[in-house]
Amino acid sequence: MSTDNSKTKRPRKRKEKRPVSDYVEAARKLSKFVPSLKKYRRRKTLTRYEKAAITRKQKALQYTDHLIPITKKQYKKLKRFTPGPGIQAVQLRNTGAHTKISFVRDNMMVTSNGRTWLYWELDRAQVKSKKGMTKAAREAFAMQFPVERIAALAQKAFEDLEPLAVYLWAPSGRVGRGFQDLPAFIDWLHENWNIGRYTQQEKWVNGIAILLQEGEHEEDEENDE
């Protein structure tokens, strides 16, 4: 009698268990961005719920880079721009190693390598409720496409602030080229929008980054073309 080996069930390979030390090391590395993980840094044992909490934060930060830690107070203002709940950090690509975050009213200001940047978000409260805007105007603003709002923000920046340059602000930080005049910025914006370079615009565009001051700096910041 022949035996059909193709039907013989092979024992399933048991998944190797992740050691506690691995979770603890992950918690130690991420704790500067996730304060809730600090309590696990010297633990010898962890419950499955604690392991799951560490794993969730690891996954949330898996594809992030150039994270800048923020304070608890700053987190309350920037929560919507962080990689996830409880993560006290924002991504700011194209900034130097020593980056400082502060606020002008509710707008984030970033100082890096002698440069000063002002970040305006897509749905700035200052734009929605600016003096003289009627209810109908506010409703019209709410119906605009993101690209139109970005163009409006850039126009306001060039008119009110006389910036050195204006960039697009994405969740990863400042992206693309910087422009010193409004028409060039808008032409570039529409070109990249139409070819789908910045897809899912509502999700992937935060607003604009405005270069206000260019001082002495030790290192050049990278520019993501």
Predicted local confidence at residue 218, as pLDDT: 47
* Cβ neighbours, 10 Å, residue 163: 21
Predicted local confidence at residue 106, as pLDDT: 85
Q: Are 176 and 167 in contact (CB under 8 A)?
A: yes
Predicted local confidence at residue 55, as pLDDT: 96
* 198: Cβ contacts below 8 Å, ≥ 6 apart: 168, 170, 192, 204, 205
Residues of the chain with pLDDT under 70: 1-16, 124-145, 193-204, 216-225
**Which DSSP category does 181 fall into?**
S
* 204/202 Cα distance (integer angstroms): 6
Predicted local confidence at residue 12, as pLDDT: 66
Between the alpha carbon of residue 11 and those of residues 8, 14, 16, 97, the distances in Å are 10, 9, 15, 51
pTM over 0.85: no
Predicted local confidence at residue 208, as pLDDT: 93
**Which DSSP category does 93 fall into?**
B
* Cβ neighbours, 10 Å, residue 158: 18
Domain residue spans in the chain? 19-92, 94-214
* 141/123 Cα distance (integer angstroms): 9
Predicted local confidence at residue 135, as pLDDT: 58
Predicted local confidence at residue 10, as pLDDT: 66
